[in-house]
Amino acid sequence: MVKQLFAEQNIKNAGINLTAAYMSCPQDTSYDHKGFFTIDAQNPEDIKKFFGPMSVEVRPIKPLSEVAKTL
């Protein structure tokens, strides 16, 4: 399922740009895996649609260099 979801053509068809992807894969299989993704998209709904029925939390981010200017 993961291979198919993150296939280059599927990402392109979704109209998003996946710039980074990380997975938490615990040795103990009783724990859930968690994914952390950096995605450029026109709106949060495009991201939620891409992940389908999976639970997704979308948060806008900025480069640290921009945030540091405001501190």
Inform me whether the pLDDT recorded for 58 exceeds 90.
Answer: yes
Res 21: pLDDT = 95
Quick one: how far is CA 34 from the chain centroid?
Answer: 10
Rounded to two decimals, the pTM is: 0.80
Buried b / exposed e across 10-36, counting CB within 10 Å, b at 16+?
eeeebebebeeeeeeeeeeeeeeeeee
Res 25: pLDDT = 84
pLDDT digits 0-9 by tens, 14-53 = 999 999 999 998 777 777 888 999 999 999 999 999 999 9
Q: Name beta bridge partners: 12.
A: none
Q: What are the structural domain ranges in the chain?
A: 2-52
Res 29: pLDDT = 76
CB 6 within 8 A of CB 23: no
